[in-house]
């Protein structure tokens, strides 16, 4: 048994002054049993808790750390930025460079506004879509998470699903009344909504690869279909690429699937481990954002030079030739290793694995989930036992069945071997 005494002490203190002891509910181990660990250090693919235990990290800060922890180039660049002053609340060159890079990389982005989190990015994109279309309703998909802003907390996946909470109290029903829900991958349901109230729909928002009910890929034709329905009804199509942007490829899911949305929300990877979000899209829409236009949105620390430095250096490293092929190879060998482990442990009949590039989920479910209902049917008790067995064997998985495993460029063949061996033993015991 590895020792978790310091973590336990810190958690006891944390619970007295922080609700639930955590600053984001997904960090709690409520869904898998036990108490959250406190981490002291990360290097490459490995993280070290405050009791000195080492883990292969499969969470990577929920996706941002696609280069692994404390990548030397990012650290060096951030140190230089800090020395030059951490914030001006005024314009700096790095924000122009990051905006240019995003507009150059992501097919649907001609102009972009930088913000401080994914939540802020989506919230602002929705406001803009409503202003542009002069309509109020939005269509969102069950199990997709778009941050914790009021109107979007309806069947919002992961954190909410994990804790079994209904839509959050404190959200006025008037807000969510404008949020219409459809099952993921169900184009017919979307068509039916649009038939009923098409002229009221400002936007259809979707995770082009769902990552917040566990990884659920779009069915053939789903994203294409949304593109057509949106265009025909005068609604904007918004891709929430906060996970998939620079994850499933340089141009995100919109490049991978060849479907260009009107607006795109980004976050996570583009901040290289610092708090950054962005929303961008067609020039005629983005020109409506203040001060170019009337749609207000602002941020004291937006475009912060330290965060820009981390994001830029991360994207530069990612942009080097062969990076995504290598990531995909590592993720494919992890997929093969996990499936082999399941088979050796005699657990393969009860397990399915969904993967798109370097994001994947091992579901304790015989059939591969295609929407929220089928994802939720997974055996979360067994996932909890598996999670604890992996932790005990030095592998840190997401503390919820409804989250993605993220592979970084720092993960090595040795790491994949460690995960595979741990998985075989943990699956036998689970």
Ligand X SMILES: *Cc1c(COP(=O)(O)O)cnc(C)c1O
- Least distance to ligand X from the beta carbon of 159, Å? 9
**Active site annotation includes 232:** no
Cα separations in angstroms, 167 against 142, 172, 271, 287, 412: 12, 11, 29, 34, 40
Residue closer to ligand X (CB basis): 146 or 355 = 146
State how far the Cα of 266 lies from the Cα of 270, in Å rounded to an integer.
7
| Rounded alpha-carbon distances, angstroms, from residue 342 to 175, 422, 423 | 44, 11, 8
Q: How far is the CB of 128 from ligand X (least distance, A)?
A: 16
Minimum Å gap between C-beta 71 and ligand X is: 20
Q: Tell me, yes or no, if 240 is annotated catalytic.
A: yes
- Residue closer to ligand X, measured from CB, 14 or 243: 243
| Sites of contact with ligand X (CB under 6 A) | 117-119, 122, 145-147, 207, 211-212, 240, 242-243, 267, 277
| Catalytic choice (49, 240, 262, 415) | 240
Rounded least distance, CB 84 to ligand X, Å? 25
**Catalytic residue chosen out of the listed positions 145, 279, 324, 396:** 145
**167 a catalytic residue:** no
Catalytic residue, from 184, 268, 324, 371: name it. Answer: 268
Shortest-Cβ-distance residue relative to ligand X: 118
- Nearest residue (CB) to ligand X, 145 versus 364: 145
Q: Give the shortest CB-24-to-ligand X separation in angstroms.
A: 7
* Those residues with Cβ within 8 angstroms of residue 37's Cβ, 6 or more apart along the chain or in another chain: 4, 7, 49, 50, 53, 391, 396
If the CB atoms of residues 240 and 262 are measured against ligand X, the closer one turns out to be 240
Q: Pick between residue 36 and residue 147 the one whose CB is nearest to ligand X.
A: 147
Residues annotated as catalytic are 145, 240, 268
């Amino acid at each position: 048994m590895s020792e978790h005494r310091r973590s336990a002490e810190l958690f006891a203190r944390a619970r007295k002054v922080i609700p639930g002891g955590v600053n984001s509910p997904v960090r709690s181990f409520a869904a898998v049993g036990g108490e959250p660990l406190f981490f002291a250090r990360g290097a490459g693919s490995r993280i070290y808790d405050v009791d000195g235990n080492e883990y292969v990290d499969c969470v990577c800060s929920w996706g941002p750390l696609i280069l692994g922890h404390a990548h030397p180039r990012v650290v060096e660049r951030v140190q230089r930025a800090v020395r030059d002053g951490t914030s001006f609340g005024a314009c700096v060159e790095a924000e122009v460079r990051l905006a240019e890079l995003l507009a150059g990389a992501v097919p649907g982005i001609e102009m972009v506004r930088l913000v401080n989190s994914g939540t802020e990015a989506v919230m602002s994109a929705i406001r803009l879509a409503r202003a542009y279309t002069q309509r109020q309703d939005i269509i969102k998909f069950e199990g997709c998470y778009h941050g914790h802003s009021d109107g979007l907390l309806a069947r919002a996946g992961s954190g909410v699903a994990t804790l079994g909470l209904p839509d959050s109290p404190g959200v006025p029903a008037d807000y969510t009344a404008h949020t219409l829900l459809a099952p993921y991958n169900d184009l017919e349901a979307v068509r039916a909504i649009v038939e009923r109230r098409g002229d009221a729909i400002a936007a259809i928002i979707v995770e082009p690869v769902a990552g917040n009910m566990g990884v659920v890929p779009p069915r053939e034709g789903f994203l294409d279909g949304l593109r057509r329905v949106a265009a025909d009804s005068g609604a904007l199509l918004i891709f929430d690429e906060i996970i998939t942007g620079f994850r499933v490829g340089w141009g995100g899911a919109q490049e991978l699937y060849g479907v260009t949305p009107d607006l795109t929300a980004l976050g996570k990877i583009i901040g290289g481990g610092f708090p950054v979000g962005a929303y961008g899209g067609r020039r005629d829409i983005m020109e409506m954002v203040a001060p170019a236009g009337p749609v207000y949105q602002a941020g004291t620390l937006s475009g912060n030079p330290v965060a820009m430095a981390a994001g830029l250096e991360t994207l530069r490293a990612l942009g080097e030739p062969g990076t995504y092929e290598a990531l995909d190879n590592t993720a494919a060998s992890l997929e093969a290793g996990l499936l082999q482990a399941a088979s050796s442990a005699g657990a393969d009949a009860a397990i399915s694995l969904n993967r798109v590039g370097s994001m994947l989920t091992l579901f304790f479910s015989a059939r591969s989930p295609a929407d929220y209902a089928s994802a939720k049917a997974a055996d979360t008790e067994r996932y909890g036992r598996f999670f604890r067995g992996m932790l005990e064997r030095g592998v840190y998985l997401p503390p919820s069945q409804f989250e993605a495993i993220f592979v970084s460029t720092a993960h090595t063949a040795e790491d994949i071997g460690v995960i595979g061996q741990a998985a075989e033993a943990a699956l036998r015991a689970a």
